[in-house]
Amino acid sequence: MKKLLVILIFWGVCAEVQAADIPWETISGSRSNDEFHWNYSYDIGLFNDTLMIDLDIRLTGDTASQSLLDRWENGIEEIWSTDRFEIPISFNLDWVRRNYDQTVTIHDGNTGPYVMTNWNTMDANGWGDAYQEAIVAHEAGHMFGLWDEYSGGAVDPVTGLINTGGLMETLDGGTLDPYYDDMLSWYNDNNVHAPVPPAVWLLGSGLIGLLGIKKANRITLLRPKGKISL
């Protein structure tokens, strides 16, 4: 019983060491094919065992109602956040006036094509008002560096990928696993466990002695979680 208690205490201490956060980093770049070109940017970090994605948007042009702004914000956050991977991914959108990732011009009514940097307060590009959340989530996909997946859109010139059934093709689609590839790759590349503090090593040594284990090199104090399969 004493040995089991010692093991549980030691494992708990090591687990606390293992759960290190990863500071925020800004991810930015550009996408371009023969017809379309845009820049993307967002912040990413790991906190409390959750992969955090932060998108800051400055609004210009006409004024949208607070209820519509709330719908847009909740639509992006809820449609993109997911817990279906090894690490949960949570998205946060802020309307800001400075230090923004994108500028979006609001048009009161339905005054033209609904694109990444021009949003209409009505009609959601012909889909109807019920799709306000889905259409801004689609445009946010471009802000994360994703291509369109429908004919005539900003399609990846390398893969030519269309008709996937996902959000980047149709507003009735959801977020597909490949949409998160770059974010999960960032997590994999940065998922390096912090060195074990000397106090923990001393504790480990003492516990090893108590347990009568002679070959300490057979014990892995920090067991890597491994990479995520993309």
Say yes or no to pLDDT of 148 above 60.
Answer: yes
pTM assigned to the model: 0.77
- Is the backbone of residue 94 left (phi > 0), alpha (psi -120 to 50) or beta? beta
197 against 141, higher pLDDT: 141
Quick one: which of 54, 69, 59 has its CA closest to 132? 69
How many residues in the chain?
Answer: 230
- If pLDDT is split at 50, 70 and 90, which confidence band does 142 have? very high
The structure tokens listed for 178 are 């490949």
Please name which of 104, 102, 80, 99 lies closest in space to residue 183, comparing C-alpha atoms. Answer: 80
How far is residue 154 from each of residues 37, 93, 110, 137, 174, measured CA to CA in Å? 8, 23, 22, 16, 18
Q: For residues 184-197, give the mean pLDDT.
A: 74
Fold annotation for 21-190: Collagenase (Catalytic Domain) (3.40.390)
- Of 14-28, 128-142, 189-203, which range is least confident? 189-203
Please provide the distance, in angstroms rounded to a whole number, between the alpha carbons at the two ends of the chain.
42
User: Does position 126 have pLDDT exceeding 60, yes or no?
Assistant: yes
188: nearest Cα among 154, 229, 156, 151? 229
| Annotated domain spans of the chain | 2-17+193-218, 21-190
Residue 66 is inside which H or E element, if any? helix 66-80
